[in-house]
Chain A
Amino acid sequence: MDINLFIVQFFNALFFASILFLISSGLSLIYGIMKILNLAHGALYMLGAYVTFTVAILWLGMSWYSMLLAYLASILVVAGLGIFIERVLLKPLYNKPQDLQLLLTFALIFILDDIVKMIWGAQYRAFPKIPGWSIPVGDYQIPIYFILTVFIAIGVGLFLHWFFTRTTYGKMVRAISYSLETSSILGINTDRLFALSFALGAGLAGLAGGVAVPLYTASPGMGGDAIVLSFAVIVIGGMGSILGAFVGSLIVGFSRVFMAILFPVFEIALIYVIMAVILMFRPTGLFGMEMRERR
């Protein structure tokens, strides 16, 4: 393998990891704080993709400026829906058996898939072109949008780090993820923080869909494909840990790319093997320290 090919393949892995991180960070965050495994996270990702498509292509016409607005719209719409889901649908279930939350988020997949089909139709929706030009690396090319995706992912990671370590809200959220009872006793308004956390996690799913849609082809049900890989990512990294989602994405991204080149037969199987092995020997994942204390 010549050095240029190595560089572009390395970048391909990094790019795929970035997409995975954008999708899975919200899933991990919601689980970490609220202990809810949101099966509908993929459906929220789908919704983000459709909102970005609508704003950037159908309403404004493609430009970097409209893309930015479209991302914001995706975040706001999906986060808003997140608040509705948390306040109206999930809140009554907090003192009920935990499985009901699971059943509800599963029902939401069906509901959201069909709503998207009602609004946008069943046909494929795609950007007319992947935005931007490409940077040559020897004979190969890296589209600028792929690079942008990596930066967005890093930006989101840094933002979350800042949010959870530097802001009062973030610190309070972390406090409830350690211990809900203690936090309540200390006078933290857990109600509002739950809504905030769910909105944040949902907003991240919306952003992920928005960032991904120019590269992919959107269709109702696209979220189902994304959700299982996200499970693998957050399990490998440590459920509830943002750093874990980051590292989990890198592991899944890199192992997939290099398996695709070396042992394509086991490309997908390997991800589940890694997932199982890590779970067996380090159930809290590679970076799930905070979770262990809770148990």
Chain B
Amino acid sequence: MTEVSESRRDWVKLAGAGVAGLAVGYGLGFLTAPERVVEKEVEVPTEGLPGIPDEPLKIGYIYFMTGTLGTYGTNAAAAIELAVEEINNNGGILGRKIELTSKDEADRERVLDNISKMVQDEGAEIVVGLDSSGDALKVIPLVEEELQIPFIVTHAATPKLTECAKRKYIFRISMYEEPIDIMAAQLVKELYEGEVSVVANIGPDYAYGYDSWAIFSGKLKELMPDLEFLEPIYTPLFTTDYGTYIDQIKGSGADLLFSSLWGGDAATFFKQAVAKGLFDSVKVYMNAMLGATDTLEAIGNDNVPTGVDVWGSGRYWFLYPPHDVYPLNKAFVENFRRKTGSYPPYVAATSYTAIYAVKKAIETAYVMKGSWPEVDDIVSALEGLTVPGPMGPVYIRPEDHQGLYDVFWGRLKKGSPTYPMPILDDLVIYPPGKVFPEPLTTMVSC
């Protein structure tokens, strides 16, 4: 395995040094454009500008605030409040303060009513949010044809949202599953060619689980046609007991296990797998959503197995871009910890960035127009915008309204004593151009 870790170290070195040579395609990631990030933001005056409305700008957000997924919403809300405090303390957007309103996505049947309420009744001019993929697709007709306001999705991961059609008002600033899964396949080829032979999958029994496996296995079959792919295992909603599946995987002789389980399920599965010795036989475990601090906290430092390479990815990892070279991330992590006491999970980073994207888009549009921008002006300004977020600069691709930034996979290792949870180390970073599909192309059925 020395060879492998050597190559991994090279990647890390490259990432740290910010060498631009790896860029392919869009190349807008942190790796390729570090100077862009450290560049000082243009000072935008905040007072005395003509054409700015007096009343505050209302932004609405909707996440799961209660129930089993409540942790997502409470973290996102904390990050949004943080962004708004920062912006308002610095004079707001062009001198206009931001005011927030929010709803709970956990009120399942009422999601659309509640979004309408924020926009039509409470005067929200922009909405961010949504955890569930089903909800993200469900809002399309409402937002595109009735509300017609900028709507920034910050979490829901279905490829269908941005790959199937260009939406007019809907944007997604967060990473979604396709780049992560494609990179996973490339990483397997790069690091484990000749070392693994049988590939298994365990994922949730709904669209996200099916799509993830289709993308990962499709790409991997292309790269390494000699691998044996087992029948994928999907676990039904509300599974809490994974023993059956764990022993099934163990009995199947799989040495590479791919998983798209997430949140509490990913943690529960992982702990049970450790207790049942799954990683005696599985040599490489790749979980597309393990890089989430909330999940890792639930797993805990005592559950990091040895003798297996555990890889995790996600939409943001709080130690990347490295704090010493990217102060924005450092400040975000510190401020978020001061506010909540915990390390920021990815929902925090993406929702925080969404607020700054709104700010930057409005400022850009104002420069162009000379007065407070209309909805269409904000939408055009969001298209092609690059906004610095904790995860590095995010480029919003105009063709499909998808946010692009660096994709990472990292190796699980004990975080103690520095961190209260396991962390991802030996980060491998791919710039978006290497893994994001061309705009409006898809590997899933629309």
Contacts and interface: CB of A to CB of B under 8 A. Distances in A.
Q: Do chains A and B touch in the complex (CB under 8 A)?
A: yes
Interface of A: 1-2, 5, 8-9, 12-13, 15-16, 19, 113-114, 117, 121-130, 134, 136, 139-143, 145-146, 212, 215-217, 219-222, 224-225, 229, 256-257, 260-261, 264, 267-268
Contact of A124 (B66, B243, B294): B294
Nearest to B268: A217
B59 interface: no
A63 B237 CA distance: 32
A130 B71 contact: no
A146 B67 CA distance: 27
Contacts of B299: 126
Interface in B235-277: 236-238, 240-241, 243-245, 247-248, 250-251, 263-265, 267-268, 271-272, 274-277
5 contacts: A5-B250, A12-B247, A124-B264, A139-B281, A140-B247
Contacts of B442: none
Centre residue among A13, A122, A127, A222 by max chain B CB count within 10 A: A122
Nearest to A132: B275
Given A122-B70, A141-B275, A222-B68, 12 more contacts: A8-B243, A12-B241, A12-B244, A122-B73, A123-B294, A124-B263, A124-B264, A126-B299, A134-B275, A216-B268, A220-B66, A264-B234
Contacts of B295: 124
Nearest to A228: B238
A1 B74 CA distance: 46
Given A122-B65, A128-B303, A134-B277, A16 B298 contact: no
Given A15-B241, A126-B298, A139-B281, A217 B267 contact: yes
B240 A260 contact: no
B114 interface: no
B380 interface: no
Contacts of A130: 271-272, 274-275
Centre residue among A13, A124, A142 by max chain B CB count within 10 A: A124
B301 interface: yes
Contacts of A267: 236
Contacts of A126: 264, 267-268, 271, 297-300
Contact of B68 (A225, A229, A264): A225
Which applies to chain B's interface (DSSP): helix, strand, loop or mixed?
A: helix
Given A113-B66, A221-B68, A123 B271 contact: no
Contact of A216 (B66, B240, B274, B302): B240
B88 interface: no
B241 A19 contact: yes
A117 B69 CA distance: 11
A5 B247 CA distance: 7
B232 to A, nearest CB: 9
A267 B69 CA distance: 24
A224 B67 contact: yes
Contacts of B71: 121-124, 219
A145 B70 contact: no
Contacts of A136: 277
Contacts of A19: 241
